[in-house]
Amino acid sequence: MQYFNQLILSSIQYSASHIYFIPNTPPAIKTLGRIEFLQLKNCSTIEIEKIIESVLTEEAYNLCKSKNYFTTTLNFNQEYQLNIHIIRSISQIKMVIQINKKTSYSLSELNIPIELLKTISSASKGLIIVTGAPHHNKDITINALLDEINNNQKKHVLIFSNDNAFHKTSNKSIISSYNLSQVNFEFIKNQSADIVILGCINSTELIHIANNCIAIGTLVIALVDAVSVTYAIEKIISLFPHRQSGLNTLSYHLLGIMLQVFITSKIHNNSLYLYDFIKCNSKVQNLIQEDKLQQINSSNIKNKINELIEQNKLTYHDVQIILSNLSNTQFFYDTHYDIF
């Protein structure tokens, strides 16, 4: 199983779309439309059979052995799915694996805090901040939230983003997507939107529009590129003309802030999302009002990371930069080199 996982991870790093296991040849990958044999030893029919047995459940494996053609889909990790195709004949067995990057997740798959959904469901107006490092896939989280809202609530949702990942087919909700450059308060007002999602709030104009939306009874969900809760709040406040006006506005209108981190373990061959939702209760409101932002921390993520390290599911090397960012309350800048 470890050999299989390492092979999948290596193939992902080479942007491979398929892996081929054919008897008496090395494993091959398909990348950029070309098939290349890997510099590994030849696989025998018995070795391919053992790989299949290690990957499938006992029930699926027994079913596979009884069929000439068998196909199934497995979740490799939170980011990738594997479509497995197995072809049997009397003399040999072949396996083709298609690697697909997942584009859709449920709230339960991601373990998104239920408090966030409750806040979105119960609040008629206010501001919710969704934050995380630029490359930590916040669009995945927003898509999961949109699916949950779309399937269960009658809401009018307007999305303004430069990311084309937010196009949704309306179900119970009416969901419309626009480029971020098209955001306009009068348009939002005329549309009578219940929820407005701002894909990247990074200008005084967007803050002004967000405030106006909240004033007319709209719930605003704003995405902010930041490596910690404190830094996200600082970035929002920096967009106001005066610091105190930013503190006052956030202390009054902020409903909660959710931090997301995406962790990839090169040693344990897995990846996962971790979340922390800080509800803006009276204590948090006072800390913002008194400009004590350093005391608003995301201890849940740090505790969960330490727990996973103790369980040997992560190593300190996997999360060193993330822990440093979460603990840093003095300097407000992104540590971009954690992408490598």
- At residue 268, the pLDDT reads 56
What does 124-174 look like in DSSP terms, one character per residue? SSEEEEEEE-TTS-HHHHHHHHHHHHHHH---EEEEE-S-GGG----SSSE
Tens of pLDDT along the chain (340 residues) come to 788 888 888 888 888 889 999 999 999 999 877 899 998 999 999 999 999 999 998 888 998 888 888 888 888 877 788 989 999 988 889 999 999 877 677 777 788 899 998 999 888 899 999 999 877 778 888 888 998 899 889 999 999 987 766 667 778 999 999 988 899 999 999 999 999 999 888 899 999 999 999 999 999 999 998 988 999 999 999 999 999 999 999 999 999 999 999 887 765 556 788 999 999 999 999 999 999 998 987 788 999 999 989 988 888 888 888 888 887 755 444 443 333 2
- At residue 330, the pLDDT reads 56
315 vs 308: CA distance, rounded Å: 8
Nearest to 257, CA basis, from 206, 283, 223: 223
Q: Would you call 232 exposed, middle or buried from its count of C-beta atoms within 10 A (0-12, 13-18, 19+)?
A: buried
The CATH number of 2-101 is which of 3.40.50.1000, 3.40.1160.10, 3.60.15.10, 3.30.450.90? 3.30.450.90
308-317 CB contacts, 8 Å cutoff, 24+ apart: 312/268, 313/265, 313/268, 313/270, 314/263, 314/265, 314/268, 315/265, 315/267, 315/268, 317/267
72 vs 96: CA distance, rounded Å: 11
Return the DSSP state at 43.
B
Q: How many CB atoms lie within 10 A of CB 208?
A: 14
99 vs 76: CA distance, rounded Å: 9
∠ CA 197-223-243 to the nearest 5 degrees? 110
Q: Are 93 and 49 in contact (CB under 8 A)?
A: yes
Q: What's this model's pTM, rounded to 2 decimal places?
A: 0.72
CATH superfamily, domain at 107-339: P-loop containing nucleotide triphosphate hydrolases (3.40.50.300)
334 vs 304: CA distance, rounded Å: 22
Enumerate the CATH 3.40.50.300 domain ranges in the chain, comma separated: 107-339
Q: Which residue has the tokens 């087919």?
A: 169
Q: Would you call 67 exposed, middle or buried from its count of C-beta atoms within 10 A (0-12, 13-18, 19+)?
A: exposed
- At residue 237, the pLDDT reads 95
